[in-house]
Amino acid sequence: MKFGRRAFLQIAAGAVGGSLLSPLPWQLAGDSARWSQNWSWRPSPERGEITKVPSICTMCEGGCGIQARLVNGNRAILVEGNPANPVTEGGICPLGAAGLQFLYAPYRISRPLKQTKGRGNISGFQPITWDEALAELGKKLAIVRGESKAHTVACITSGRQSSMDDLWQQLFSAYGSQNLFKMPTQADGLRSSALLTTGIASPYTFALENATHVLSFGSNLLEGAAAPGRAFAALRQWRQNGNVKLVQVESRCSLTASKADQWLAVEPGAEAAIALSIAHVMIAGNTYDADFVKNNVFGFEDWTDSTGKRRQGFKTLVSSPTYSPEEIAKKAKVDAAAIRALAKDFAAQKNAIAVWNLGHSDLAFNTYDELAFVALNVLKGNIKTGGLVNLTADIPLGALPAVEKDALAENAAQQKRLDLTRDKTAPVPQNGLYGFLDSLAHGSKYPIEVLMVHEANPAYSLMESRLFQAALDKIKMLVSFSSFMDETACLADLVLPNHTALERLDDVKGIPAASFSYYAVSSPILKPLGDTKNTGDAVLALAGKIGGTVASSVPWKTYEEFLKFRVKGLAETQKGAVADKAGIRLTSAEPVKPNFKDGDDLWKKLKAGACWYDAPAEMPSFKTASGKLELACQAIPVAAAADDHMFLPHLFTIKLAGGEQDFPLLLVAHSTGYLTSGYLANPPFMNKLIPDWTLKGNEEFVDVNPQTAQSLGLSQGQSASLRTTQGEATVRVNVTSAARPGVVFLPKGLGHKAYDEYIQNKGTNANSLMEVLLDPVSGMGTVWATRAQLRRV
Amino acid sequence: MNEKKSEASASKALGVVFFLAGFIGALVLGWVVFPNLLYSQKAQPMNFSHVAHADNDCESCHTFRPDGTYTGVPRLDKCKECHETAQGTTEAERILVEEYVEKNREPMWKNYAWQPDNVYFSHAPHKGQGLECIRCHRDVTKEEKLPAYRENLITGYSISTMKMTECEECHAQKGVSNNCEICHK
Amino acid sequence: MSEKGHAQSGVRFGMVIDLDKCSGCGACSVACQAENNISFRPDESEKLRSITWMEIYQLTNGKDYPDFRQAFLPRPCMHCDSPHHSPCTFVCPVNATTRDENNGIVTHIYPRCIGCRYCMVACPYHARDFNWWDPSWPKPMESMLSPEVSTRMRGVVEKCTFCHHRMLKARSKAYVDGSDPNKATYTTACADACPTKAITFGNLQDEKSEVAKLSKDPRAFRILAKLQTEPKVYYLSKQDWIKKLSDNALK
């Protein structure tokens, strides 16, 4: 028998028949279909019980209530607003909602690192243990102190208000250095103007919630204000009630300007001129609160200084024709009638408030600008107990023990803070970070041995970037406590990584510029992912290694113990109350009844995501020379005031470098809602929000008015070279009528050199192009514009 | 001629034999060999005797959470409530305590009814509509030893993963929505 | 069946977005991305390739400085309620996208999608995005994927689902609580997140619901209403220029 073709076909036919009667082909077909639905390389998220853990967001100054969703208690999948938080009532900002992208960021630092090669060489970082890292820094700090050079140790910490500020302050006092700085925030300006006018160094607060007319001078209310949660809540309330008018005075058609009921477009830097002109109209028309001014204000009328010299008062100064709407209109390039209308409106409204500095970035206004805005609130009689403007009340947390200074600390403390050692120092010095860097960069009185940087990224986020670079060259050792490999950490000699915001125990001391008191404890949503350490704990550990009386000045074993101590002190005052539900009117003048028993009870409630609040405080008695609210600021020494108006709010502009010939345009760096520009880099989720007329590929756009673009021969999307007195960058042009003619606008938050491919090398760091101007009164760095030119390439 | 005829009939018979050989071979392959080839047996981390836990209600381990989700196979925390230390001398008991409880590791149980990620299944509506557990799951009331877990080599699903047709059929019979989002996510 | 070709279910989920309250911050869009495991890539500036269920469009009044004004318009899927079919469900050759007539949600099932993108062409709102690449997450970020929504694969279309997984969860909870699952309501991730409470979500057919009341507000309008797509997403604005733009095609 031959097994031929026929036999084969017969078997095959049988096999086909048999198969069709068996499950094989059907099963195979079905299974391959199912297989095709499941691509094995696609991640399959672990399933399990989903729980919610409440906490407080510490990624910016806002202190919003959040809750995280966890799978099986160990994997965070979502951060959302906490509906029980009385400020946000469940809302959240985009940065908060993207919070997990920092927790799970690829660029996190998971253990201490030591630079073994040259500064800035990433491959030189060697992992070390915490014991080694703390021993190394502790030893260095002990040696420097032993050599009576404690004053050469400096620290830059976050602009956020937390108990870490007090711990650093305590450590530095005991150690013997005054070179402790906070990153600049706009609250610095509110503090400095409060100090000059009230004698109290507590930032002014604004009761946005109680106002019916808000006159905002360039405030980035909707572009991520210093406390976005509260700003958005205020907008919600205004629109809900429908009886609040928002007026924005700004050069750019920002989102706030667009969303405002009225936008007055002015020249950059002319905001205060408008305020002074409004004051002029109000005084001329006698539409100001004369009773309030008469009883509470010094320097409105002409006055006599401490040397007996007769001085001009605010009324005389502002009543001069220089401040008439017609004159100011020329300077600010607006319509004089618009100023008059604004003044009429502002004067007529019972609950009208002038607000400024509600953003989170650098100061745009100089001291005299700020005083002009204060003056408007003075004319409205706002600055009083129960008024729309008040001073930030201290949160009565447990007070830190008095620092026991040993001889080393005493001696070192004789050395002035570095920014105050310069030849020309500010008469009423405030946050001196830029002055500090400036003196280092230009030959300081003494060197800096160690600079510690905590929750900040000064190498990126300080304006006039080359200033930090130049200063860094003079600093022998840079220590970063950053959780991320940011621009500053890259340059560090030693990195002691902090837990990220969602992993650590932290607290929030107040919401910037809020009239009510607010305190919250941020508890970790899960266990730390890496071998990181809460910087609070690291600082306590370091204190023990320095020797002298340093350790006994910070007697807490852990940061948790320290925070508990602070909360216990708060509980003992029996002031304020815990708010754990929405719908509480925080700005109500009604006294708040405490609803907690003792420290343990309050701690438990705060740890569970509730917050502590207190009604707006009474206005403290003014600590000025006159005992009144001073429009003529006597804190400014007579010697420093060449002229009468140097005490008063007046037209004042710090001159920009560069001539109009070479740099015919002004560059203004601005905040946007879709780009974070502080310590945190823009997360991938938020990158989707960046419009393609702000970033395309790696190229960033500047906003230019069509008229200006035409005169420069530029059209939409074209590449151009942007040169300022500080630096140069290649940008593309977005032609938009949102931009004022003659002004170029560049968004902040791009141009990172560190981090990962999701943000690195995209666009230009606006900070590197901007010029910092030191304020002649406060010494603080201000950045309002920089001279620039834009050319086709 | 006859020879030829008989040759032809022999070849026809032979043809039938060949055909039958192919036919039966395919049937055996399809019904017996293939199912065994298609599924690999995977071991569970340890044995679990439902009988040994019969003094508890089913709901003490398999229960609804307040948010409407179902616990399904309990996690280690549940086991620990009783088995912090060994409660018996079985091998499974030893494995549970030594390998999982003491090391605080989650046992990776293989779920017999596992559905892929694109499926949304909630027990609550099915229970709410009065379905008995054994309508879809095996009866475990007398089960002392976990059955073998058989995994489809092509799909990676369990052999007892319910097919969409079965879901749809029941939904249709009961007049329940068969719209996509009811069962897919 | 009604004259619109819908089952009479008494449930029609819809959304109202108050553009006067919207600050354009983008929290809705970010919350949506986190909730729905939306993938991201190093370069998100190519907007035709970028996947965003809740897209924030910029509107401008077209005037010169200083009369220029801008506003932002968050755009989820409109879950069109036009008779019998939504534009996308009408064209899908494989029934991967359908409308559930019990609640009005337009669904899209990834394993069924063949990636022909016909629905993307049909959608007048650009609400649909295509997966040009396999979604991938930088290593530790896979940890933040939610098990409540499946991850997609290359070659399929995706879009806003009105967070229908939350609806199913709410129904399950109703079963467990012993209440009527057909009356279960829920909110979407975007509405939850909105810091100005500009987004309201709920049952449009429940006269007492906030969303039903707002949809009848004199400020209410819908985008491209002239196309008769019957979107279930309403917008509120008192600005005439914004209302006028609503009848223009989105760029």
- A561 vs B19: which has the higher pLDDT: A561
Contact between C173 and B124 using a beta-carbon 8 Å cutoff: yes
Q: Which of A685, A688, A716 to mutate to test the interface with C (most CBs of C within 10 A)?
A: A688
Count of C-beta atoms within a 10 Å radius of residue B160: 15
Residue B71 — pLDDT band, cuts 50, 70, 90? very high
Task: Select the more confidently predicted residue: A332 or B1.
Answer: A332
Task: Place B94 in a pLDDT band, splitting at 50, 70 and 90.
Answer: very high
Instruction: Report which of A500, A456, A452, A528 is spatially closest to residue A136, judged by C-alpha positions.
Output: A452
Between chains, do A673 and C140 touch, taking CB under 8 Å as contact?
no
- Touching partners of C (3+ C-beta pairs < 8 Å): A, B
Look at residue B10 in the predicted model and tell me its pLDDT.
78
Section A151-177 average pLDDT:
96
Q: Tens digit of pLDDT for each residue in A495-553?
A: 999 999 999 999 999 999 999 999 999 999 999 999 999 999 999 999 999 988 899 99
Cβ contacts from A onto B, under 8 A: 99
Six token digits for residue B104: 């605080």
Domain ranges for chain A, please list them. Answer: 113-185+396-614, 199-393+625-647, 665-792
Which fold does the domain A113-185+396-614 belong to in CATH? Rossmann fold (3.40.50)
- Residue C181, preceding peptide bond in cis (omega within 30° of 0): no
Question: What average pLDDT does the segment B29-50 reach?
Answer: 90
CATH code of domain A665-792: 2.40.40.20
How many Å apart are CA B122 and CA B172, to the nearest integer?
Answer: 17
Residue whose tokens read 């042009």: A733
Residues 42-101 of chain A whose Cβ lies under 8 A from any Cβ of chain B: 44-45, 48-50, 72
Closest residue of chain C to A49, computed from CA coordinates: C147
Q: Both tokens of residue A102?
A: 């920092």
Contact A688 C71 (CB under 8 A): no
Closest residue in chain B to residue A45, using alpha carbons only: B117
Q: How confident is the model at residue C95 (pLDDT cuts 50, 70, 90)?
A: very high
Identify whether the C-beta of residue A102 lies closer than 8 Å to the C-beta of residue A752: no
B-C Cβ pairs (cutoff 8 Å, strict):
78
Q: What is the pLDDT of residue C6?
A: 54
pLDDT at B68: 93
DSSP label at residue A263: E
**Tokens in use for C79?**
């879950």
- Give the count of alpha carbons within 13 A of A498, CB side only: 28
- Mean pLDDT (chain A) is 94
Query: Given A18, A38, A45, which is nearest B27 (Cβ)?
Result: A18
Residue A729 identity (one-letter amino acid): A
Q: Which residues contact B22 (CB under 8 A, 6 or more apart)?
A: A10, A11, A12, A13, A14, A15, A16, A17, A18
User: HSE (CB half, 13 Å, CA atoms) of A720?
Assistant: 27
Of C109, C112, C172, nearest to B68 by CB-CB distance is C172
Average pLDDT of chain B, as a whole number? 90
Q: Look up the ipTM and state it.
A: 0.95
Question: What pLDDT, in 10s, does the model give residues C18-51?
Answer: 999 999 999 999 999 999 999 999 999 999 999 9
Give the per-residue pLDDT at A640.
79
Examine the pLDDT at A2 and tell me if it is beyond 70: no
Pick A3 or A65 by higher pLDDT: A65
Which residues in chain A touch residue B163, judged by CB atoms under 8 angstroms apart?
30
CB contacts, 8 Å: C193 with chain A: 80-81, 91-92, 97
- The identity of residue A631, as a single letter, is L
Q: What would be the CATH architecture of the domain defined by A199-393+625-647?
A: 3-Layer(aba) Sandwich (3.40)
Cβ–Cβ below 8 Å for C98 and B180: yes
Nearest-CA neighbor of B84 among B108, B101, B61?
B101
Query: Between helices A24-37 and A5-20, what is the axis angle to 10°?
Result: 70
Q: Which of A390, A373, A354 is nearest to A589 (CA)?
A: A390
Cα dist from A744 to A158, A666, A703, whole Å = 30, 6, 6
Q: Which of B117, B128, B181 sits opposite C100 (nearest CB)?
A: B181
Residues of B whose CB is below 8 A from C150: 117-118, 184-185
Least confident of A306-310, B9-13, B70-74: B9-13
Q: How many residues does chain A have?
A: 793
Query: Smallest Cα–Cα separation from A578: which of A592, A588, A561, A568?
Result: A592
Q: pLDDT tens across A621-677, in order?
A: 999 999 999 999 999 998 877 889 999 999 999 999 999 999 999 999 999 989 998
**Long-range CB pairs of A131-140, under 8 A, 24+ apart, other chains included:** A133/A494, A133/A496, A134/A496, A134/A538, A134/A541, A134/A542, A134/A545, A135/A545, A136/A494, A137/A450, A137/A479, A137/A494, A137/A496, A137/A542, A137/A545, A138/A541, A138/A542, A138/A544, A138/A545, A138/A546, A139/A545, A140/A449, A140/A450, A140/A477
Chain B residues closer than 8 Å to C110 by CB: 118, 184
Which of the residue ranges A606-610, A713-717, B13-17 would you say has the lowest mean pLDDT? Answer: B13-17
Tens digit of each residue's pLDDT (9 = 90 or more) over A88-113: 999 999 999 999 999 999 999 999 99
Neighbours of A552 (CB within 10 A): 14
In chain A, % helix, strand, coil (3-state, to 5) comes to 35, 20, 45
Show the tokens assigned to C170. Answer: 């709410």
Ordered domains of chain C (ranges, CATH): 13-245 (3.30.70.20)
Asked if residues B110 and B160 have their Cβ atoms less than 8 Å apart, the reply is no
Look at residues A554, A559, A424 and name the one whose alpha carbon lies nearest to residue A499: A559
Nearest to B26 by CA among A20, A19, A13: A19
> Does A527 reach chain C within 8 Å, measured CB to CB?
no
pLDDT attached to residue C1: 39
Helix extents (H) in A422-579: 433-441, 458-461, 465-472, 487-491, 535-546, 550-553, 559-573
Among left, alpha and beta (phi > 0; psi -120 to 50; other), residue A386 is left
In tens, the pLDDT along A221-238 reads 888 788 999 999 999 999
CA nearest neighbour of C101 among C91, C89, C111: C89
Tell me what the mean pLDDT of segment A697-724 comes to.
Answer: 96
Hey, which residues 201-240 in chain C have their CB within 8 Å of chain A? Answer: none
What pLDDT, on the 0 to 100 scale, is given for residue A93? 95
Q: Are A68 and A79 in contact (CB under 8 A)?
A: yes
CB distance A43–C142 less than 8 Å?
A: yes
Angle at CA A538, nearest 5°, toward A532 and A544?
A: 145
Residue A642, pLDDT score: 81
Shortest Cα distance, chain A CAs vs residue B146, angstroms: 22
Tell me: the pLDDT tens digits for A245-285?
A: 999 999 999 999 999 999 999 999 999 999 999 999 999 99
Asked whether residue C5 carries a pLDDT value surpassing 80, the answer given is: no
Q: What's the DSSP call for residue A675?
A: B
Q: pLDDT band at residue A380, thresholds of 50, 70 and 90? A: very high
Q: What is the largest CA-CA distance in chain C?
A: 60
**Chain A residue closest in CA terms to C111:** A37
CA closest to A221 among chain C residues = C23
Q: Which residues of A touch B27 (CB under 8 A)?
A: 18, 21-22
- Of A694 and A424, which is predicted with more confidence? A694
Beta pairing class for C13-18 and B39-42: unpaired
Q: CA of C140, closest CA in chain A: separation in Å?
A: 5
pLDDT tens by residue, A350-359? 999 999 999 8
Nearest-angstrom CA–CA distance, A195 and A149: 32
Scan residues 2-21 of C and list those with Cβ closer than 8 Å to A: 18, 20-21
Residue with tokens 């621009």: A487
A699's CB contacts (< 8 A; 6+ apart) are: A719, A730, A731, A732, A763
**In this model, does residue A147 exceed pLDDT 50?**
yes
> Cβ contact (<8 Å) for C110 and B118?
yes
Interface-testing mutation among C100, C168, C186, with chain B (most B C-beta atoms within 10 A): C168
- Mind listing the pLDDT tens digit for each residue in A336-352? 999 999 999 999 999 99
Rounded Cα distance between C159 and C119, Å, is: 11
Phi–psi pair at A29, nearest 5 degrees: -65, -45
| Mutation site for A-interface testing, chosen from B31, B154, B157 by largest number of A Cβ within 10 Å | B154
pLDDT at C148: 95
Mean pLDDT of B104-123: 93
Contact C192 A741 (CB under 8 A): no
For residue A5, name the pLDDT band (cuts at 50, 70, 90). Answer: confident
Mean pLDDT on C64-79: 95
Strand C13-18 with C199-203, pairing: antiparallel
**Confidence band (pLDDT; 50, 70, 90) for C2?**
very low
pLDDT score, position A763: 96
- Cα A295 to Cα A201: distance, rounded to the nearest angstrom: 22
Backbone angles phi, psi at A645, to 5 degrees: -70, -10
Choose among B122, B125, B181: nearest Cβ to C107: B181
The tens digit of pLDDT for each residue in C198-216 reads: 999 999 999 999 999 999 9
Range with lowest mean pLDDT among A422-426, A616-620, A748-752, C73-77: A422-426
pLDDT in tens, A462-496: 999 999 999 999 999 999 999 999 999 999 999 99
